[in-house]
Amino acid sequence: MLARPAAKRCMQWQGGTAGLSSCGLELGPLWGLLRSSASMATRALSAGGASPTGSALDMKQVRDRLREIVGASTNWRDHKQALADRVSLSSMLAGSQSDMPPRSMKHSFQEVHLPLGSQPELREKYLTHHNTVRFGRILEDLDSLAVLISYSHTHDPALPRSPLSIVTALVDKIDMREHRLDPNCDIKFTGHVTWVGKTSIEAKMYMSQLHNGAYNPVLEATFVMVARDPENKRAAFVNPLKPEGPEEELLFQQGEVNKTRRVELSTASLLKVAPTADERKIVHSLFLNTLDTQTVSFRSRVLPPNSVWMEDAKLKGLEVCFPQERNIFNRIFGGFLMRKAYELGWANACSFGGRRPNLVAVDDILFQKPVDIGSLLLLSSQVCYTEGKYIQVRVHSEVLDPLTRQHNTTNVFHFTFVSDNDVPFIVPKSYGESMLYLDGKRHFSQTAQLC
């Protein structure tokens, strides 16, 4: 089954979900349902052929195939000509979705192997100094795979290059099954399209790691991709999806549920509407708990025991965006942005909790604007909510124009971490910080419900 030599077998599996129940965040029946449906769908899709080539890819082959599909240049000096060549592909776009043939889920199924156990030279790229796997690199790989899955769904064999520009719009959810990955064991990714709108695609991916001759589940990820014209200026239609069998129908229906949930969350955003009555009570209670009982003044604030002011739980970073980190459309690779945001968020959670935290979930990463080559990328990480051993971190990404001094938001990231010990309470001071607190609480509650 493997395209490469057999991987080194892991004799000891480290990690697991022990401790997730310490704060009410248990891996309950829903995870079993998701694993069951994923397993059934994967078996059904594998029966129809695991990949278009008949063998699993590696990550280098994934990125090489994306360049072939799009016709992207491998040299930065040629990127302008490559972009100009894609303009002529606009005439190949479909006028409506009904003009495009429907596709099944097996049409987009991909299996990709990451041979960490059998390729020591590759292992170095994914290794942390604590001898674990860099999750930031995994985020990069998931992003590349989601794009390839989407192009596999829309692939037209009659066309030498795809006229579509498919980019990541949203990381809906990444749920972790294992916290600690062994860098000496091979990793496998599988995934396929599970839902399609007129111009958007939901790609679901599963990651597992080899242990004692069998692959154990590590995570499940859901990405939402959007299709645009060759110049990435306007939306473009994608092939409709036709589920086959009850397992695929279940996955498609879950995609509809996910879409509805995303609309509801956007409508209820604290940037658009006021907090609920219960949330207003929480904010007022936080305020009352910080009043100085000696002065009885609204201006005098005292930090409660075992607490940290929110303004003291920040960590910032700056990235100069070089051509090396570009994607096939000569913008900054979304996976690179996710990796940098995750690493900054992890460092913030680590310094806040005083322990090396483990990732529980990635939630609601919104890609608002692309990042151009040469941009100054400002990353700001904020611990916005804590509960027991859990730390909710928000990372805000913006581009600074050094000439106009204007700041434009490009991404917002949400990470849930767990520490070995209970962490301090985070306490907001201002109204704006209170909204960050409530937003963090919402994301944490959503993660707790799904897990």
All structural domains of the chain, each given as residue ranges with its CATH number in brackets, are 20-267 (3.10.129.10), 277-450 (3.10.129.10)
Of 25-34, 252-261, 348-357, the least confident: 25-34
Predicted pLDDT at 55: 67
pLDDT of 367 higher than 80: yes
pLDDT of 30 higher than 70: no
Do 169 and 202 form a contact (C-beta atoms < 8 A)?
Answer: no
Extract the tokens encoding 401: 């124009």
pLDDT of 345 higher than 90: yes
Q: What is the mean pLDDT of residues 221-227?
A: 96
How far is residue 197 from each of residues 91, 94, 227, 238, 319, measured CA to CA in Å? 22, 15, 10, 8, 35
- The residue type at 299: R
pLDDT of 184 higher than 90: yes
Cβ neighbourhood burial of 139 (10 Å; 0-12, 13-18, 19+): buried
pLDDT of 98 higher than 70: yes
Do 427 and 304 form a contact (C-beta atoms < 8 A)?
Answer: yes
Q: What is the pLDDT of residues 243-278, one digit of tens each?
A: 999 999 999 999 999 999 888 888 888 888 999 999
Q: What DSSP assignment string belongs to 45-91?
A: HHHT-SSTTSS-B-HHHHHHHHHHHHT--SSGGGHHHHHHHHHGGGG
The whole-angstrom separation of Cα 390 and Cα 383 is 11
The whole-angstrom separation of Cα 116 and Cα 218 is 15
Q: What is the pLDDT of residues 281-312, one digit of tens each?
A: 999 999 989 988 777 677 778 999 999 999 99
User: What burial letters (b/e) apply to 341-376, b meaning 16+ CB within 10 Å?
Assistant: bbbbbbebbbebbebebbbbbbbbbbbeebbeeebe
Q: Is 269 helix (H, G, I), strand (E, B) or coil?
A: coil
Q: What is the pLDDT of residues 398-429, one digit of tens each?
A: 998 888 888 999 999 999 999 999 999 999 99
Of 193-197, 359-363, 390-394, the least confident: 359-363
Predicted pLDDT at 413: 94
Element holding 262 (H helix, E strand): helix 246-267
Q: Is 16 helix (H, G, I), strand (E, B) or coil?
A: coil
Element holding 444 (H helix, E strand): helix 431-450
Cα Rg for the chain, rounded, in angstroms?
Answer: 23
Terminal CA-CA length for the chain = 32
Q: Is 205 helix (H, G, I), strand (E, B) or coil?
A: strand
Q: How many CB atoms lie within 10 A of CB 421?
A: 9
Residues whose CB falls within 8 Å of the CB of residue 411, separated by 6 or more in sequence, listed in order: 337, 341, 365, 366, 367, 368, 395, 396, 397
Predicted pLDDT at 448: 80
pLDDT of 108 higher than 70: yes
* Mean of per-residue pLDDT scores for the chain: 85
What is the Cβ-side half-sphere exposure of residue 296, based on CA atoms within 13 angstroms? 0
Extract the tokens encoding 137: 């690199």
Do 370 and 332 form a contact (C-beta atoms < 8 A)?
Answer: yes
Kind of pairing, strands 390-400 and 376-387?
A: antiparallel
Question: What angle (nearest 5°) sits at the alpha carbon of residue 350, between those of residues 349 and 352?
Answer: 65
pLDDT of 234 higher than 50: yes
Predicted pLDDT at 27: 38
Extract the tokens encoding 323: 């051509």
If you count DSSP H runs as helices and E runs as strands, how many of each does the chain have, helices first? 9, 12
Do 281 and 434 form a contact (C-beta atoms < 8 A)?
Answer: no
- The residue type at 387: E
| pLDDT over 90 percentage in the chain | 62
Extract the tokens encoding 132: 């674990």
How far is residue 385 from each of residues 2, 134, 216, 356, 389, measured CA to CA in Å? 43, 24, 31, 18, 11
Extract the tokens encoding 38: 């994923």
Do 257 and 195 form a contact (C-beta atoms < 8 A)?
Answer: no
